[in-house]
Amino acid sequence: DQEWARGRRRPYLGPTRLYLIAAAFLFFAAALVPEQGSPIASFASGWMQGGTSDQLSPQAKAEAVDKVAGWVEASLRWLLLFGMVPALAGLSRLLLGRRGDYFAQHITASLHIHAVMFLLLGVLLLTLKALGLGSTPDAADIWGMAVVQPLVLVSAPVLYRRVFRRGWPSTVLRLAGVYLGYMTVMVVVAAAMVLAAAPR
Protein backbone atom coordinates (compact mmCIF):
# COMPACT_ATOMS: atom_id res chain seq x y z
CA ASP A 1 0.00 0.00 0.00
CA GLN A 2 1.04 3.65 0.12
CA GLU A 3 2.75 3.30 3.50
CA TRP A 4 4.96 0.49 2.20
CA ALA A 5 5.75 2.45 -0.98
CA ARG A 6 6.98 5.35 1.16
CA GLY A 7 9.35 3.03 2.99
CA ARG A 8 7.45 2.90 6.27
CA ARG A 9 7.69 -0.42 8.07
CA ARG A 10 4.52 -2.33 8.74
CA PRO A 11 4.14 -5.51 10.84
CA TYR A 12 3.30 -7.86 7.97
CA LEU A 13 5.09 -9.94 5.35
CA GLY A 14 6.63 -7.79 2.63
CA PRO A 15 5.22 -8.14 -0.91
CA THR A 16 8.47 -9.38 -2.47
CA ARG A 17 8.96 -12.09 0.12
CA LEU A 18 5.30 -13.08 -0.10
CA TYR A 19 5.58 -13.32 -3.89
CA LEU A 20 8.70 -15.50 -3.80
CA ILE A 21 7.17 -17.82 -1.20
CA ALA A 22 4.00 -18.15 -3.30
CA ALA A 23 6.03 -18.85 -6.46
CA ALA A 24 8.09 -21.53 -4.70
CA PHE A 25 4.90 -23.10 -3.35
CA LEU A 26 3.35 -23.17 -6.83
CA PHE A 27 6.42 -24.81 -8.37
CA PHE A 28 6.40 -27.44 -5.63
CA ALA A 29 2.71 -28.18 -6.23
CA ALA A 30 3.13 -28.18 -10.02
CA ALA A 31 5.82 -30.85 -9.74
CA LEU A 32 3.14 -33.24 -8.47
CA VAL A 33 0.93 -32.88 -11.55
CA PRO A 34 1.99 -34.13 -15.00
CA GLU A 35 2.61 -31.52 -17.66
CA GLN A 36 1.09 -33.42 -20.60
CA GLY A 37 -2.03 -31.86 -21.97
CA SER A 38 -1.01 -28.29 -21.17
CA PRO A 39 -2.58 -25.95 -23.74
CA ILE A 40 0.75 -24.17 -24.24
CA ALA A 41 2.62 -27.39 -24.93
CA SER A 42 -0.19 -28.69 -27.15
CA PHE A 43 -0.24 -25.50 -29.21
CA ALA A 44 3.54 -25.50 -29.59
CA SER A 45 3.54 -29.19 -30.52
CA GLY A 46 0.84 -28.70 -33.14
CA TRP A 47 2.70 -25.79 -34.68
CA MET A 48 5.95 -27.72 -34.73
CA GLN A 49 4.33 -30.81 -36.24
CA GLY A 50 3.31 -28.74 -39.22
CA GLY A 51 6.69 -27.07 -39.60
CA THR A 52 9.24 -29.83 -39.10
CA SER A 53 11.04 -31.19 -42.11
CA ASP A 54 9.62 -34.25 -43.85
CA GLN A 55 13.19 -35.51 -44.21
CA LEU A 56 13.38 -36.31 -40.49
CA SER A 57 12.51 -39.74 -39.25
CA PRO A 58 9.28 -39.98 -37.23
CA GLN A 59 11.25 -40.53 -34.01
CA ALA A 60 13.60 -37.60 -34.63
CA LYS A 61 10.65 -35.41 -35.58
CA ALA A 62 8.78 -36.32 -32.39
CA GLU A 63 11.85 -35.61 -30.26
CA ALA A 64 12.36 -32.22 -31.90
CA VAL A 65 8.72 -31.29 -31.38
CA ASP A 66 8.78 -32.34 -27.72
CA LYS A 67 11.99 -30.43 -27.01
CA VAL A 68 10.78 -27.20 -28.58
CA ALA A 69 7.33 -27.44 -26.99
CA GLY A 70 8.95 -28.02 -23.61
CA TRP A 71 11.27 -25.05 -24.13
CA VAL A 72 8.38 -22.78 -25.04
CA GLU A 73 6.38 -23.79 -21.98
CA ALA A 74 9.37 -23.48 -19.63
CA SER A 75 10.16 -20.03 -21.05
CA LEU A 76 6.58 -18.90 -20.52
CA ARG A 77 6.70 -20.09 -16.91
CA TRP A 78 9.71 -17.90 -16.24
CA LEU A 79 8.04 -15.05 -18.09
CA LEU A 80 4.97 -15.42 -15.89
CA LEU A 81 7.16 -15.58 -12.80
CA PHE A 82 9.28 -12.51 -13.47
CA GLY A 83 8.10 -10.69 -16.59
CA MET A 84 4.38 -10.31 -16.02
CA VAL A 85 4.78 -8.50 -12.69
CA PRO A 86 6.21 -5.31 -14.28
CA ALA A 87 3.87 -5.79 -17.26
CA LEU A 88 0.82 -5.72 -14.99
CA ALA A 89 2.30 -2.82 -13.04
CA GLY A 90 2.81 -0.85 -16.25
CA LEU A 91 -0.75 -1.48 -17.39
CA SER A 92 -2.20 -0.48 -14.02
CA ARG A 93 -0.02 2.65 -13.98
CA LEU A 94 -1.36 3.58 -17.40
CA LEU A 95 -5.05 2.91 -16.69
CA LEU A 96 -5.38 3.26 -12.91
CA GLY A 97 -2.59 5.59 -11.88
CA ARG A 98 -2.99 9.13 -10.65
CA ARG A 99 -0.59 12.03 -10.82
CA GLY A 100 1.90 11.72 -7.99
CA ASP A 101 1.58 7.95 -7.67
CA TYR A 102 4.74 5.94 -7.17
CA PHE A 103 5.41 3.19 -9.70
CA ALA A 104 6.42 1.13 -6.66
CA GLN A 105 2.76 1.14 -5.63
CA HIS A 106 1.82 -0.56 -8.88
CA ILE A 107 4.68 -3.06 -8.54
CA THR A 108 3.51 -3.84 -5.00
CA ALA A 109 -0.09 -4.36 -6.13
CA SER A 110 1.11 -6.57 -8.99
CA LEU A 111 3.23 -8.65 -6.60
CA HIS A 112 0.21 -9.17 -4.35
CA ILE A 113 -2.09 -10.17 -7.23
CA HIS A 114 0.42 -12.66 -8.60
CA ALA A 115 1.10 -14.03 -5.11
CA VAL A 116 -2.63 -14.61 -4.59
CA MET A 117 -2.87 -16.32 -7.98
CA PHE A 118 0.16 -18.54 -7.30
CA LEU A 119 -1.10 -19.54 -3.85
CA LEU A 120 -4.56 -20.38 -5.18
CA LEU A 121 -3.10 -22.41 -8.05
CA GLY A 122 -0.80 -24.25 -5.65
CA VAL A 123 -3.67 -25.11 -3.32
CA LEU A 124 -5.73 -26.22 -6.32
CA LEU A 125 -2.99 -28.55 -7.58
CA LEU A 126 -2.47 -30.09 -4.14
CA THR A 127 -6.23 -30.55 -3.77
CA LEU A 128 -6.44 -32.29 -7.14
CA LYS A 129 -3.56 -34.54 -6.11
CA ALA A 130 -5.25 -35.39 -2.80
CA LEU A 131 -8.50 -36.22 -4.62
CA GLY A 132 -6.70 -38.56 -6.98
CA LEU A 133 -6.98 -36.23 -9.96
CA GLY A 134 -3.29 -35.40 -10.06
CA SER A 135 -2.79 -37.78 -12.97
CA THR A 136 -5.40 -35.96 -15.06
CA PRO A 137 -3.55 -33.18 -16.93
CA ASP A 138 -6.65 -31.27 -18.08
CA ALA A 139 -8.04 -31.11 -14.52
CA ALA A 140 -5.66 -28.30 -13.53
CA ASP A 141 -6.61 -26.21 -16.58
CA ILE A 142 -10.35 -26.75 -16.15
CA TRP A 143 -10.45 -26.05 -12.42
CA GLY A 144 -7.98 -23.22 -12.74
CA MET A 145 -10.33 -21.42 -15.13
CA ALA A 146 -13.42 -22.32 -13.09
CA VAL A 147 -12.13 -21.51 -9.59
CA VAL A 148 -8.83 -19.63 -9.48
CA GLN A 149 -9.43 -17.07 -12.20
CA PRO A 150 -12.80 -15.87 -10.80
CA LEU A 151 -11.28 -15.55 -7.30
CA VAL A 152 -8.41 -13.46 -8.65
CA LEU A 153 -10.81 -11.31 -10.67
CA VAL A 154 -12.89 -10.69 -7.53
CA SER A 155 -9.94 -9.90 -5.25
CA ALA A 156 -8.19 -7.58 -7.73
CA PRO A 157 -10.81 -4.77 -7.67
CA VAL A 158 -10.82 -4.82 -3.86
CA LEU A 159 -7.04 -4.41 -3.75
CA TYR A 160 -6.80 -1.77 -6.48
CA ARG A 161 -9.71 0.27 -5.13
CA ARG A 162 -8.07 0.39 -1.71
CA VAL A 163 -4.60 1.27 -3.02
CA PHE A 164 -5.51 3.77 -5.74
CA ARG A 165 -8.57 5.36 -4.12
CA ARG A 166 -11.04 5.18 -6.99
CA GLY A 167 -14.76 4.41 -6.93
CA TRP A 168 -16.07 0.95 -7.68
CA PRO A 169 -17.32 1.66 -11.25
CA SER A 170 -14.07 3.35 -12.25
CA THR A 171 -11.94 0.62 -10.67
CA VAL A 172 -13.85 -2.23 -12.30
CA LEU A 173 -13.90 -0.61 -15.75
CA ARG A 174 -10.23 0.30 -15.66
CA LEU A 175 -9.27 -3.14 -14.37
CA ALA A 176 -11.18 -4.69 -17.27
CA GLY A 177 -8.85 -2.81 -19.59
CA VAL A 178 -5.85 -3.91 -17.54
CA TYR A 179 -7.01 -7.54 -17.71
CA LEU A 180 -7.48 -7.41 -21.49
CA GLY A 181 -4.05 -5.86 -21.90
CA TYR A 182 -2.49 -8.45 -19.60
CA MET A 183 -3.99 -11.38 -21.51
CA THR A 184 -3.04 -9.80 -24.84
CA VAL A 185 0.59 -9.51 -23.74
CA MET A 186 0.64 -13.16 -22.69
CA VAL A 187 -0.90 -14.38 -25.95
CA VAL A 188 1.42 -12.25 -28.10
CA VAL A 189 4.52 -13.39 -26.22
CA ALA A 190 3.44 -17.05 -26.38
CA ALA A 191 2.83 -16.80 -30.13
CA ALA A 192 6.16 -15.01 -30.64
CA MET A 193 8.02 -17.75 -28.77
CA VAL A 194 6.37 -20.48 -30.83
CA LEU A 195 7.18 -18.64 -34.07
CA ALA A 196 10.78 -18.07 -32.98
CA ALA A 197 11.19 -21.76 -32.14
CA ALA A 198 9.70 -23.03 -35.41
CA PRO A 199 12.22 -24.47 -37.89
CA ARG A 200 13.11 -22.34 -40.88
By the 10 Å C-beta count (0-12 exposed, 13-18 middle, 19+ buried), 146 is classed as exposed
Candidates 181, 174, 194; CA nearest to 97 is: 174
* Prediction pTM value: 0.72
Per-residue pLDDT of the chain (200 residues; tens, 9 = 90+): 555 555 555 555 678 889 999 989 988 887 776 554 444 444 444 444 444 445 555 665 556 556 656 656 666 666 666 788 999 999 999 998 888 888 888 999 999 999 999 999 889 888 888 887 655 556 666 777 788 888 988 999 999 998 888 899 999 999 999 999 999 988 887 777 666 655 54
CB 189 within 8 A of CB 78: no
Q: What is the pLDDT of residue 69?
A: 60
CA–CA dist 145, 148 (Å, integer): 6
Specify the number of domains making up the chain: 1
Q: Which domain holds residue 139?
A: 2-197
pLDDT digits (tens, 9 = 90+) for 112-150: 999 999 999 889 888 888 887 655 556 666 777 788 888
